[in-house]
Amino acid sequence: MFSSRLPAHTATNRLTAALQAVRASGTPFVDLTLSNPTLAGFDYPDDLLAPLGQSRGLRYAPSPLGAIEARRAVAADYARQGIAVAPERIALTASTSDSYSLLFKLLADAGDEVLVPRPSYPLFDHLTQLDLVATRYYDLDVHGAWSIDVDSLARAITPRTRAVLLVCPNNPTGSFVTRDEIDRLEAICAPRGIAIIADEVFADYELEPGAAAGAGRLAGDGLQAVPRALSFSLGGLSKSVGLPQVKLRWMAVGGPDRLVAEALERLELVCDTYLAVSTPVQLAAAELLHRGAAVRSQIAARVVSNYRALQAAAARAPSCRVLRSEGGWYAVLQVPSLEPEEDLVLRLLADGVLTHPGYFFDFPRESFLIVSLLPAEAVFADGVSRVLRHFARTTSGT
Ligand SMILES: Cc1ncc(COP(=O)(O)O)c(C=O)c1O
């Protein structure tokens, strides 16, 4: 009766079951998987959402790619980051998942393939499956810093490959794509008619000074050493100003003018079929981006402070190592492989701290724990000390 895009069974896994039991018992624990900024103790101005209440929003005048004033506001936000994008090359969406879904409809037929980085954002499996797109993987390697294994990417290409997905900075490795990597990808993708989709939702958050400014970006008119591929850069209010509940996201289309024009024409048709972005949020876009800077700066300070605290704490714990992370909201802790990651995460939950296991993100081997850098500093420090205490005990045999 139901579509095979969805899993046949929605069975609860061991981790979810354990978490439900802990929540039901009311036992407190430190949540180092927190990804919702609205629950992380930031100071959101009370009237931050006032721009949503403009009376102009009472009139409905749909525009498939988005109201031009909102697209101009997004272009101005790119300009803030030093990137020149014409508002006409920007399309508005309601969520980043919507952006992916629209792009899969634009670029792929059922059974066509997209290349997905590994390790990366776990939602890609669902997003592709729901649009009947197949995934093939390319690897990110870590030697001190993470980089794209371009050979594995080239090997993963088949005649059905329609797009390469990038996340920059990547969730959870925190790696930005370099300009050289972008050039190499464009050299591979452009002649084969493969598009590049760059998820830049965390682009504002650097953990190493200068990492964001030094990253390769596909939007804009920077000088390119190689022919350019058609590209889509994704961003949105959810991370850039910490407002996931305010449904406004966007994509900037880049590449050769003719291809960009053809893509926008078709995208307009797809967007016109759904018209998912509300009028009030489009009218409020400029003001939300402006006022939201106050939230962004708090988040940016918090993730840097927690990342440094994690590095300092791990430096005192010889069995654990923080992998280098250049940006984003997460950090990766490499820990001793004394038991399967799932057992470890369950044991840590029993010790009062919740982390994500590396396998959630398709790390090639064990053992890694992923921690969110969003929690309030004292909460984060408590959670980290619980994790490190666990290894101090287990590796000393006590
Ligand atoms: C890499 C990445 N892209 C997109 C999203 C979701 O963003 P949105 O709230 O805009 O749908 C997330 C959420 O954590 C993410 O990690």
pLDDT digits (tens), the chain, 398 positions = 999 999 887 778 899 999 999 999 999 999 999 999 999 999 999 999 999 999 999 999 999 999 999 999 999 999 999 999 999 999 999 999 999 999 999 999 999 999 999 999 999 999 999 999 999 999 999 988 899 999 999 999 999 999 999 999 999 999 999 999 999 999 999 999 999 999 999 999 999 999 998 899 999 765 566 689 999 999 999 999 999 999 999 999 999 999 999 999 999 999 999 999 999 999 999 999 999 999 999 999 999 999 999 999 999 999 999 999 999 999 999 999 999 999 999 999 999 999 999 999 999 999 999 999 999 999 999 999 999 999 988 877 65
User: Which residue from 303, 387, 379 is spatially nearest to 345, judged by alpha carbons?
Assistant: 387
Round to whole Å and give the CA distance between 176 and 208: 11
Cα 88 to averaged position of ligand 1 atoms, centre (Å): 24
**Beta partners for residue 165, in sequence order:** 197
- Give pTM, 2 decimals: 0.97
Q: Specify the 3-state DSSP secondary structure of 171.
A: coil
Q: Which atom of ligand 1 is the closest one to the Cα of 120?
A: 1
Cα 121 to averaged position of ligand 1 atoms, centre (Å): 8
Q: Which residue minimizes the CA distance to atom 6 of ligand 1?
A: 96
Q: Number of helices (H) and strands (E) in the chain: give both, helices first.
A: 12, 14
Q: Which atom of ligand 1 is the closest one to the Cα of 249?
A: 10
User: Which residue from 83, 126, 39 is spatially nearest to 360, judged by alpha carbons?
Assistant: 126
Residue 171 CB–ligand 1 contact under 6 Å: yes
Cα 13 to averaged position of ligand 1 atoms, centre (Å): 23
Residue 97 CB–ligand 1 contact under 6 Å: yes
Ligand 1 binding pocket mutation candidate from 39, 118, 127, 171 (most atoms within 8 A of CB): 171
